[in-house]
């Protein structure tokens, strides 16, 4: 039976994995939290792996407070750069396949064609810089790793744009939402499902583990304004949404204007289908009504 470690159980993506592994009989899963594996503590990382052996290690944990990272640079780099490198070292020692999650923020965001994994990087925020440095350090430590970049992650777990819109939409009569940042929302369940499908294909010998950098978001393209409008329509919320430009919402960390990902590499390499963001949003809202 293959042994799989998911680091960061309590985050959006970790929680999506936790829900989806029920009923899987081709692997056994271990989940870590900040309590059982504090990624800012190098000796804790080393001792965690000293008596365990995994076939796959998936790192869903990260420093994700994009604006706060501008003033907490050290912490952002500890979690997003140092920790992935140390995990990659441990994976290397034990022969585990390492899958690390990264972000569209490694790109500058001023392109206008779907971002390819090997396209030019120019992160403009501390968060983006720490994540890019993390990708580079882990690949250097263990070139047999896989980095999967995603964007605009949301889910029924934790805090995210969907949850903020649902709350504000009920409190306010109207909202201004930016329409000059373009990307694709990604339902955390779809990313977890995609990674589980890839691991199953590798474990059952139908596909090889091919190291490198991949992109995964839902299909389709929209602005945050379009996303908000669809959330309200699907949730039956009558709050009006007005499109505004990003300069009306100054933030400590700049956001990429264009984050649409080219997902052809992951789709073709692992023969997976990715749902359209509209279908996934409908599914997520339906799941939330059952909670």
Ligand X SMILES: NC(=O)c1ccc[n+]([C@@H]2O[C@H](COP(=O)([O-])OP(=O)(O)OC[C@H]3O[C@@H](n4cnc5c(N)ncnc54)[C@H](OP(=O)(O)O)[C@@H]3O)[C@@H](O)[C@H]2O)c1
Residues labelled as active-site residues: 127
The residue within the footprint of ligand X, chosen from 5, 6, 11, 270 (CB under 6 A), is 11
Instruction: Indicate the residue among 34 and 168 with the shorter CB distance to ligand X.
Output: 34
Q: Is 117 in the site for ligand X (CB under 6 A)?
A: no
Cβ closest to ligand X, residue 41 vs residue 240: 41
Smallest gap from residue 238 Cβ to ligand X (A): 27
CB of 147 to ligand X, least distance (A): 10
Among 6, 60, 162, 281, binds ligand X (CB under 6 A): 60
Nearest distance in Å: CB 174, ligand X = 25
The nearest distance, CB 80 to ligand X, in angstroms, is 7
Nearest to 221 by CA among 186, 251, 250: 186
User: Does 217 help bind ligand X (rule: CB under 6 A)?
Assistant: no
Q: Of residues 61-80, which lie at the interface with ligand X (CB under 6 A)?
A: 61-62, 64, 79
Nearest-approach distance from CB 8 to ligand X, in angstroms: 4
Q: Residue 68 or residue 204: which is nearer to ligand X going by CB?
A: 68
Residue 124, interface with ligand X (CB under 6 A)?
A: no
**Least distance between ligand X and beta carbon 176 (Å):** 20
Contact residue for ligand X among 86, 87, 101, 198 (CB under 6 A)? 101
- Give the one residue of 125, 129, 145, 150 binding ligand X; rule: CB under 6 A: 150
Q: How far is CA 143 from CA 58, 199, 221, 254, in A?
A: 15, 18, 32, 31
- The residue among 62 and 208 lying less far from ligand X, judged by its C-beta, is 62
Of positions 69, 91, 139, 153, contacts ligand X by CB under 6 A? 153
Write phi, then psi, for 162 (nearest 5 degrees): -55, -50
Instruction: For 52, list phi and psi in degrees, rounded to 5.
Output: -130, 150
Residue nearest to ligand X (CB): 11
- Judged by beta carbon, residue 39 or residue 203, the one nearer ligand X is 39
Range in contact with ligand X (rule: CB under 6 A) among 20-28, 31-39, 272-280, 282-290: 31-39
Using rule CB under 6 A, residue 125 touches ligand X: no
| Vertex 30 angle, CA 25 and 32, to 5° | 155
Asked if residues 145 and 91 have their Cβ atoms less than 8 Å apart, the reply is yes
Applying CB under 6 A, does 39 fall inside the site for ligand X? Answer: yes
Q: Which residues bind ligand X (CB under 6 A)?
A: 8, 10-14, 33-34, 37-40, 60-62, 64, 79, 101, 103, 131, 150-153, 158
């Amino acid at each position: 039976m293959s042994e799989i470690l998911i680091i960061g159980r309590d985050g959006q993506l970790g929680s999506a994995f936790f829900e989806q592994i029920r009923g899987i009989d081709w692997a056994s899963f271990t989940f870590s939290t900040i309590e059982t594996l504090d990624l800012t503590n190098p000796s804790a990382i080393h001792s965690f792996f000293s008596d365990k052996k995994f076939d796959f290690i998936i790192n869903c944990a990260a420093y994700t407070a994009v604006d706060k990272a501008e003033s907490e640079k050290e912490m952002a780099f500890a979690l997003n750069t140092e920790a992935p490198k140390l995990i990659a070292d441990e994976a290397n020692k034990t022969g585990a396949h390492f899958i690390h999650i990264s972000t569209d923020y490694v790109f500058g965001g001023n392109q206008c064609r779907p971002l390819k994994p090997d396209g030019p990087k120019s992160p403009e925020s501390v968060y983006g810089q720490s994540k890019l440095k993390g990708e580079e350090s882990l690949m250097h430590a263990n070139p047999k790793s896989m980095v999967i970049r995603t964007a605009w992650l949301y889910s029924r777990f934790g805090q995210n744009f969907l949850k903020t819109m649902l709350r504000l939409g009920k409190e306010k009569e109207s909202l201004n939402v930016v329409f000059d940042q373009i990307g694709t929302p990604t339902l955390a369940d779809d990313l977890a499902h995609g990674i589980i499908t890839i691991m199953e294909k590798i474990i059952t010998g139908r596909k090889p583990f091919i190291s490198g950098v991949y992109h995964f978001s839902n299909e389709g393209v929209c602005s945050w304004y379009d996303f908000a409008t669809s959330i309200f329509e699907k949730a039956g919320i009558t709050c009006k949404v007005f499109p505004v430009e990003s300069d009306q919402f100054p933030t400590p960390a700049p956001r990429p204007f264009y984050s649409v990902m080219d997902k052809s590499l992951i789709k073709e390499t692992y023969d997976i289908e990715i749902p359209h963001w509209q279908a996934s949003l409908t599914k997520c809202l339906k799941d939330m009504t059952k909670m």
